[in-house]
Structure 1
Amino acid sequence: MDPVTQKVYYVFGPLTIALTGCQNSLEMEDAIKTGKESSGKLLILDELNKFDQDVLFGALKIPATLQPGEIFNSKYLPGVKLRMAQKGVAIVATMNPATVRYERKELDPALDRLFYNGKEKVDYPPMSPETETPELYEIFLGILMDGNGRIRVAKSELAPSFVETEDPATGIVKQELNPNVTSHGTLYRFALAAAEVHKSFTQKPSVAKTGADEGFLEKTPLEMETLSKWMKEYSEEIEGGDSPKTYLEKKLHDFHENIDGANDKAIYERIFSHFGFSITSPSKTPKEAYAPLTPVEMGYLTPKTPREVRKHGDEVVPRTRIYTKPNGEEIYYLPTAMKAGDNELPSGTILEHQGIQYIYLGTDPETGGNIIMPLEEGNNG
């Protein structure tokens, strides 16, 4: 009831608000009476094939035929005159493949026809070492990143592995992705494996193929919803939890145990074994020590970042590192040697002066000056 006019009114639901641009029946009545033009809203229907499809079709079939400004009624709002907004009405629906596991059905043909001209198939995020499209892996990195832009996992457990290749004719040395897929960090390997599962489910060639067996999954996809949930959960237990490999193998093991069908079980095992995961008997892998990465090193976590190219015999340029003081202050340095007379002192050398110990870190990446600090319980990353 309106506290001023004492009129009883209906508060509209999301669909009616989107169609009319009004929040309640009083607004709608006033807009029709005054001829005031209204703007509709965007309505997003997520997981379309989880809805009761008869009810949903009944709610959408009339609006699908209406023109801007046309008057209509709804059986859910008896006695209320409604008017289609003159502009701005949009309905976007999303759905995943039908699976018994997640209670998704094939879309009813009548409901499907309502979206016929606007249907777009959105595939899995690309993930291929051959074409250097690591989007699925980059999504995982983004989920694991904390509010300070850090991922508190050892670089070796995240990133792809590279090998140096040399052109004998030119002497040019390049870094290329290691063809041995088990050499990569856990997260990158997991992204590759998840992409192969999707290929198998959509009946595309994958590493699951053996001889005459195409290795196609029958009914068990590994969906983005599940993958995102796993990554989110791990991001919340990084500090004291398992290593990425142990955590993911446990998740995969539980998932694998609930797969219905020997064919799909075998294909999952085949794919993840190819990338170095044991999903039938998860292992307890020690967690590697984490060291903070510089912004440049964070950029190098993705294989899309151009790698260093040099001539054979050229000195490899050192990368910036971080020394974290006990108070949390970070010192950026290049681990270069310091000349001391005829000698060179490597980065990390401990020096003593008047009974106080110091550590030589290297040179300042901006000024080129030497960085020598009192030896503290810092973290030399």
Structure 2
Amino acid sequence: MQFIDLKSQYTALKPEIDAALQRVLEHGQYIMGPEVAQLEGKLAEFVGVPHCITVASGTEALLIALMALGVRAGDEVITSPFTFAATAEVIALLGAVPVFVDVEPDTCNLNAALIEAAITPRTKAIMPVSLYGQVADMAEINAIAARHQLPVIEDAAQSFGASYQSGRSCGLSTFGATSFFPSKPLGCYGDGGALFTADAALAQVAREIRVHGQSARYTHTRVGVGGRMDTLQCAVVLAKLPRFEWELARRAALGARYAALLAELNVRLLAVRPDRNCVWGQYTVFVEERERVQAALKDAGIPTAVHYPRPLHQQAAYAAFAPAGGCPVAERVAQDVMSLPMSPDLREADQDRVVAALAAAVGHRV
């Protein structure tokens, strides 16, 4: 069994993907070819914002967003400690300070109620993470940001396609940043990502930054990076887009089925708030004695993963930014989270195998 079944997805889309790649090979515009603008237009329409800027990776998307907003050395950016390192990495790379605010115990997303107390005169932005495929409390976060005249960057690497109130992930704040890493809800066959914004001026700045700060060829108006998404990778995502709505519906159905099957087991499920959905970038549960449970599942041929075993403020690279008193909720959930196989092409029979093995490992509720 595959943890994420990319082979079945490719089999289903093989004619479209092969043809898309062949078109790029024939026209030979491997950098900023026509597929780049085509993809940007379709993604912007999907999210519901005027501007999409494809970039080299989800990490690059976050970095370019921060650069476009003018984040510099000494500035502070409020974010979650319970996320992949890239979230804090891009802040530190600019010489800024990641200010870690604890998470909610049932969603593992940034706790909006704790943000305002962390704001100082040096705060330059707020960067919530839409973890596991569920958007964070963006209405509350945006309201706090508006009171303090701060921009918000949604780290939506795991939540592309998710809905929140009347909008979609990536279209809910100053910038939305996502990843097209192969395992993400919408993935390419390498690295790729995108930025979304409704602000035309910020979009132009981001476009210049991704091509070494050029406003025209060899006209460098600002410091930038080599942050373009390859034409071949854009072609892959274009080929996948027509199937994406089906995949989102399939993720929702499999997520609901997991919840029903796991209801009687000694595991705690991730909460999904009623004003949003979850695209299940990972299907994550909370279990006690995780190492023992993972070993039992491995013996049964069931792959699992942990996203994430240690919060960032407890990692050596970011320990200098640890808040006084730590982030106790993040520290606690890091001990219990475990992700189960999930992808649109997961078969119900395999899902049943996962649940049966997990039931044997953890037992039923008392």
TM-score if structure 2 supplies the norm length?
0.24
* Structure with the larger helix share: 2
Compare CA radii of gyration and give the structure with the larger one: 1
Larger relative contact order (C-alpha < 8 A, sep ≥ 6)?
A: 2
